[in-house]
Amino acid sequence: MSELTYVNGSCHCGLNTFRVGFVTSSLPLSTNLCHCSICRHTSGQLAFEHAPISGSPISRSSAPATEDNPSIPLGLAGMTGYQSSSNVTRYFCKACSAHLFRAVSNTEADGDKKWAVAAGALETTDGILKVSRHTWVSDTLDGGIADHLRQIKGVGELPRYKEGVGSPEVPLGWNIVDVKQGGVPLLKAFCHCRALRFAISRPTDKSVLSAKEASTYPDLMYAYISTEPSKIQNPNGDPWWLTPHNSGTKTKYLAGHCTCTTCRLTSGSEVQSWTFVPLLNILVPSPTAPPEADEWVPLCLLKDEERPKGLTQYNSSPGKFRESCSTCGATGFWWRKGVPNLIDFSVGLLDESIAGTRAVDWLDWWTGRVSFEEEALSHEIASGLEEGLKEYASKA
């Protein structure tokens, strides 16, 4: 029997704690950042990293395993299973919605499942996992986050495979999305199961006023760990969430990547990508119109009983809330009390057919920093992303 190295993991709320085994001789294990539409819309992330494990996940709520005390398989009572395709089930926490596992079955027998763990749910990836490539980049239509995360220390340039490993590669700057002349009035978004459907409208003068109280700069722009609090407070009331910043006419929303511990453990992803959108500019299908009518209304105008039924809420820290799909687990929003009119919107939900996954016709990506990079699980990924953003900015 092959020697195994065990790594602990959990979701943010702690309802699911586990350990998984990796064949020691295979470490560090090369993994993919998958850009396929299923991974993006089930998770809300621009790409997702699963790592195959040896056997099945093991519960940490039981006594530690020894030679005389066999490991206890992880119970699934704390997780929701979502069948994303005929033989693939994805498991996420029932409370905090963190994606934790993917199981692939060749038959209906449980013992035939091949398990993979969400990399962001692990306590450490140092010496265990090594992101080595981008896969299914063709599904993005614009290269997705592969244009931002270009190389990683110790790995070098990451191949950008059009589909699976070994398929043709796509070059940097590859983009086949057909953005209509003059753009479109709404940028639509959805989770994989379609229980949640949203749209974003273009900024207007009201977009500044509606989020007036959101004056504090985000860590994305100024690192909280090293910036004077007086500067973070944004004393001049700069509407930083709207861009271009050097223009009186705002046409886009600011977007960026975060590697904070909370984002990671509530999503299962090492990188969470957000865009900042006033609540006024987030729309949902009209509850009084038939689906085929394609009518949209601002979410803020709906009564509580008219809000999307599949949206589940998790209080991730005092006064801060995350909302996700209760069926497929896709991350949707982050917001906080005191500033309820400015919403962090998970970019992986965006309909790539409209403007590509990065939606550069709508979003202005911040290239100066990765938010909370000092908390990153993998500092190689965080630093590679920051370097790639600088290169991206220099050639934009």
Q: What is the pLDDT of residues 112-128, one digit of tens each?
A: 789 999 999 999 999 99
Find tokens 């009035």 and name the residue. Answer: 185
3-state secondary structure of 231: helix
Where residue 95 falls among pLDDT bands split at 50, 70, 90?
Answer: very high
Nearest to residue 18, comparing CAs of 128, 117, 109? 117
Longest alpha-carbon distance in the chain: 70
Q: Which of 30-39, 44-53, 202-211 has the lowest mean pLDDT?
A: 202-211
Mean pLDDT of all residues in 32-56:
97
Greater model confidence, 337 or 255? 255
Q: pLDDT tier at 107 (50, 70, 90 boundaries)? A: low
CA–CA separation, 383 and 395 (whole Å): 19
Structure-model confidence comparison of residues 164 and 250, the more confident one: 164
CA–CA separation, 299 vs 342, rounded Å?
12
CB 23 within 8 A of CB 129: no
Does the pLDDT at position 45 exceed 90? yes
Q: Judge if pTM exceeds 0.85.
A: yes
Q: What are the backbone angles phi and psi of residue 56, rounded to the nearest 5°? A: -115, 165
Choice between 245 and 195, residue whose per-residue pLDDT is larger: 195
Q: What are residue 63's phi and psi, to 5 degrees?
A: -65, 145
User: Lowest-confidence range among 1-10, 160-169, 250-259, 356-365?
Assistant: 1-10
Q: Residue 307 pLDDT > 70, yes or no? A: yes
Fold agreement between 4-157 and 186-394: yes
Whether 289 has a pLDDT exceeding 90, the answer reads no
CATH assignment of 186-394?
A: 2.170.150.70
With pLDDT > 90 as the criterion, what percentage of the chain qualifies?
Answer: 76
- Higher model confidence: residue 179 or residue 184? 184
Write down how long the chain is. 396
Token digits of residue 174: 């590859």
d(CA 228, CA 226): 7
Q: Where are the beta strands (DSSP E) in 210-319?
A: 242-243, 252-258, 272-278, 282-285, 296-298, 311-317
Three-state SS letters, 106-163: CCCCHHHCEEEEEHHHECCCCCCEEEEEEECHHHHCCCHHHHCCCEECCCEECCEECC
Q: Residue 313's pLDDT is what?
A: 96
pLDDT score at 305: 78
The mean pLDDT value for 36-49 works out to 98
In this prediction, residue 136 has a pLDDT band, given cuts at 50, 70 and 90, of very high
**Segment among 114-128, 275-289, 351-365 with least mean pLDDT:** 275-289
pLDDT at 71: 61
Distance CA 295, CA 343 (A): 22
Contact call for residues 148 and 381 (beta carbons, < 8 A): no
Q: State the burial class of residue 329 (Cβ atoms within 10 Å of its Cβ: 0-12, 13-18, 19+).
A: buried
Residue 114, judged by CB atoms within 10 A of its CB (0-12, 13-18, 19+), counts as: middle
State mean pLDDT over 44-62. 92
Lowest mean pLDDT among 16-25, 54-63, 94-103, 281-290: 54-63
In the predicted structure, residue 382 carries a pLDDT above the cut 90: yes
- Residue 339, both tokens: 């500033």
Say yes or no to pLDDT of 213 above 90: no
135 vs 69: which has the higher pLDDT? 135
Least confident of 144-153, 202-211, 342-351, 385-394: 202-211
Name the residue ranges covered by the structural domains of the chain.
4-157, 186-394
Q: Give the DSSP letter of residue 291.
A: G
Q: For the chain, report the end-to-end CA distance as a whole number of angstroms.
A: 52
- Which stretch of DSSP H or E encloses residue 33? strand 29-34
- Cross-strand partners of 297: 284
Report the alpha-carbon distance of residue 332 to residue 299 in Å, rounded. 13
Do residues 102 and 50 make contact, with C-beta atoms less than 8 angstroms apart? yes
- Is residue 108 scored above 60 in pLDDT? no
Confidence (pLDDT) at 318 = 95
Tell me the fold of 4-157: 2.170.150
Between CA 213 and CA 256 the distance in angstroms is 21
* Mean pLDDT estimate for the chain: 91
